[in-house]
Structure 1
Amino acid sequence: MTSPLDLDPRWRALQDMGGVMDIGFDHPSAWTHGERGAEPFIKVGDDQLASELCRFSDQRFICAALTLAIRGSEDHVIFAIWVKVPDDCFYAYVETFDGGPAPETAVGKLSSELGPVAPLGAAVALTFSDRESRPKAQLFGGATDISLDDLLALYEATGTVNRDDLGSVQ
């Protein structure tokens, strides 16, 4: 099926590069100790960062999956974002790794820089399904889709894709 984006040379170049790439954030925006990179776990004093959980000062964060449709196409992009959550939610989620029941839902605050999609601190609803998958995130009153221009801006800001690799940019 043909997409309106098929007429955009940047979209075609992105497809030639393998298609839409998901974006993952290494750490919450509040984290000041540098990237985790290839390390499975970082501990600095009482602060801790792993791929799915973060404790920074008196704040607790969970990594969640935010899925947004790409306007003008049938594709979507998934963001692995960080959400600041209340302590009780954080510790209930930690218990799922030891076989405990997952919390059903929670409300937190966005702690990943999503630029044009949502501001830092925006309200985020989390839905937990099981311990095998990340919680699903939904922005309250926020975006359910993203434009190609905004996606490309986020790709460039996160170092995922350089706009120059996609040809001419408007």
Structure 2
Amino acid sequence: MNLLALDSRWQRFNDENWVCPCCGQTFSGVFDIGFDHPDCWPHDSPRDLRQSELQVGDDKLSGDLCRFQEHRFLCSLLSLPIKGSDEALELAVWASVTPDTFYRYIDFATGETLEFASSLASLMNDLPLFGNVAPIGCEIRQGEEGQRPRLFAIEGPLAQAQAEGISFDQLLDIYAATGTEVRAHLMG
């Protein structure tokens, strides 16, 4: 049994038939969060998601790859299990990798090699609740077939959250900090 099933907010959050009495908003459970670019991407021009790539001088940004000066980044998935449930928050975040890792990933993604070996990386997006003012050391690993690579923090609060999970209230805090206030709409 899902331990959160006793929390009326969790019930409303997962009930697509429940309608917020103040605004009519509905929910259907945990939704993913994605970052469009590494935090260090300096260009003001927003990337048009309908285009496959944004290029400013020699710097390039696509949905999966980024090159900024001599830096290389891969968009990867970072999972945070939710305590008391079988669900996880998936975050599409950017990882700084070596040029060698970057090009090995391109070879893997284009089918030139069959495997993408894990390597060290750094998380390049500030995540709410984890106070990362500097890049967080991580390991990047091959994702499931057809998915982006997976990112795992090596130590610290983020590594602990990946191993032990986050609470429902922490999930709501992350949503609020990334621009989607949910908490007020779950009160009955």
Normalised TM-score (structure 1): 0.86
What is the RMSD of the two structures over their aligned residues, measured on CA atoms? 2.2
* Aligned pairs for 1:52-71 within 5 A: 52-71=64-83
Q: Which runs of 4+ in 1 moved over 3 A?
A: 160-163
Distance change (3 Å), C-alpha of 1:118 and 1:147: farther
Count of matched residue pairs: 167
Q: Percent identity of the aligned residues?
A: 37
- CA distance in 2: counterparts of 1:44 and 1:33, whole angstroms: 8
Which residue matches 2:22? none
SS in 1 for 2:102: helix
Match of 1:30 in 2: 40
Q: Deviations over 1:18-63 (max 9, x none)?
A: 1111111111111122442423211111111111101112211101
Runs of 5+ unmatched residues, structure 2: 16-26
Question: Aligned equivalents of 1:22 and 1:129: distance in 2?
Answer: 17
- 1:118 and 1:92 map into 2 onto residues whose CA distance is 31
Q: Residue 167 of structure 1 aligns to which amino acid in structure 2?
A: M
Give the direction of change, closer, same or farther, for the CA distance of 1:10–1:129 in structure 2 (3 Å limit). Answer: closer
Any conservation in 1 of the 2:30–2:87 contact (CA below 8 Å)? yes
1:82-103 Cα offsets, whole Å, 9 max, x none, are 1011111011112223322243
Alignment of 1:6-155 (within 5 A): 6-16=5-15, 17-34=27-44, 35-39=46-50, 40-101=52-113, 102-117=115-130, 119=132, 120-129=134-143, 132-141=146-155, 142=159, 143-144=161-162, 145-155=165-175
Q: Could you tell me which amino acid in structure 2 is paired with residue 73 of structure 1?
A: S
Give yes or no for contact 1:83–1:109 (8 Å, CA) kept in 2.
Answer: yes
SS at match of 1:123: strand
Q: What amino acid does structure 2 have at the position aligned with 1:105?
A: S
CA distance change for structure 1 residues 164 and 36 in 2, over 3 Å: closer, same or farther?
farther
Q: Which has the larger radius of gyration?
A: 2
Contact 1:23 1:160 in 2 (8 A): no
Residue 153 of structure 1 aligns to a residue whose secondary structure is helix
Q: Secondary structure at the match of 1:152?
A: helix
> By how many angstroms is 1:135 displaced?
0.7
CA distance in 2, matches of 1:163, 1:50: 33
Pair 1:146–1:164, CA change in 2 (3 A): same
Q: Gapped runs of 5+ residues in structure 1?
A: none
Q: 1:96, 1:131 within 8 Å by CA — same for their partners in 2? A: no
Cα distance 1:11–1:159, how it changes in 2: closer, same or farther (>3 A)? same
1:159 corresponding residue in structure 2: 179
Q: TM-score, normalised by structure 2?
A: 0.78
Contact 1:20 1:75 in 2 (8 A): yes
